[in-house]
Homo-oligomer: A and B are copies of this chain.
Amino acid sequence: MRHNFGAGPCILPQEVFKQASQAVLDFKDGLSILEISHRTPEFEGVVEETTKLVKELLNVPSGYSVLLLQGGASLQFAMVPMNLLPEGKTASYLETGVWANKAIKEVPAFGKANIVGSSKADNYTFIPKGYSIPEDSAYFHCTSNNTIYGTEMFSLPETNVPVICDMSSDIMSRVIDVSKYDLIYAGAQKNIGPAGLTIVIVKDEILGKVDRKIPAMLDYKVHIDGGSMYNTPPVFSIYVAMLNLRWLKSKGGVAEIEKENIAKANALYKEIDRNPLFKGTCAVEDRSRMNVCFVMENPELEKPFLKLAEENGIEGIKGHRSVGGFRASMYNALPITSVHTLIELMQIFAEKYQ
């Protein structure tokens, strides 16, 4: 039995793997999903259903478009200012980690970046609060979950400027009010599907307000007009995303999975706080439900604990090099039984070394 706590690309439901594996052999009339044209009615149906499932699961209001793109969050870092920041204007950014920082670095090619809050000096162990967003900002950009550091933003600042959010690592994990955002983007490879797909949810009315020439592939309007089929889309990644979103819907949707995610996070943080060998690395109020970062009071015990975990089928809990220790990523498809297994090992270890 393997317990995949990897940070991403990450665990997806076993039944999704089975269905995807079958479609690689036979998607339709003996043809593989890898050899069908994206212009067949069958695949157009896949794009349509995937788009509809995103809208349904996140309760996306009218006036928003859902796009299935390529290039990951990293390409969105540039597409956002290219499409939304008029020449010479300023955009406000909240700096909550390396990914937020990479988004900020793409701004100067298009306008000015104003960092309204940062926890960089504290190695991003908390989400800055109490900052103010200048009214003349073209937009405010934030990262809802910081995979590396294990912090999550559970509330948005009050502001009148458009809100743009990189939701790569917690989209579909909890209920959000999409109407509070003007653009949401997410690399698919956590709770949506395999790598190679990017989801964008954009309020149509914010587009078309910059003068610069935007290459077709980087223009949200081109993709809206093309129904996410302006060019050949990442067929298989979209198909698997559809299977995974169907699974999420069958589980009761985002509200139901959120309950499970809260239960998983609470169980593990409780053990971290209780167990004298371990400690969390982040401000308690900003603790992520998706990525739980923790270290050991005695760093010398980290190696033997990692060994014990790996011997028991725990995958991917080595912490990111910039934090150290451990990171248990607990995306939607990770069963709570895997979390219980990890907790038990922490308890066994504590009994031995305490």
Contact = CB atoms under 8 A, between A and B. Distances in A.
Interface size class of A (residues with CB under 8 A): 35 or more
Interface string A91-102: 000000000001
A102 B216 contact: yes
A231 B74 contact: yes
A75 B214 CA distance: 12
A35 B21 contact: no
A74 B230 contact: yes
A235 B71 contact: no
Interface string A232-273: 111111001000000000000000000000000000000000
Contacts of A106: 215-216
A24 interface: yes
A71 B71 contact: yes
A235 B78 CA distance: 22
A32 B12 contact: yes
Contacts of A77: 215-217
B17 A70 contact: no
Contacts of A78: 215-218
- Of listed A70, A105, A316, residue having the most chain B CB within 10 A: A70
A227 interface: no
A24 B17 contact: yes
Contact of A9 (B21, B24, B212, B235): B235
Given A195-B38, A216-B105, A217-B74, A232 B9 contact: yes
A315 interface: yes
A213 interface: yes
A332 B30 CA distance: 19
Interface in A28-74: 29-32, 34-38, 70-74
Contacts of A82: 215
A203 to B, nearest CB: 23
A328 interface: no
A169 to B, nearest CB: 11
Contacts of A215: 75, 77-78, 82, 106, 109
What 3 pairs across the A-B complex have the smallest Cβ distances?
A196-B234, A78-B215, A109-B213
Given A7-B37, A194-B235, 11 more contacts: A9-B35, A21-B25, A31-B315, A34-B194, A34-B240, A70-B75, A71-B75, A102-B216, A106-B215, A196-B196, A196-B234
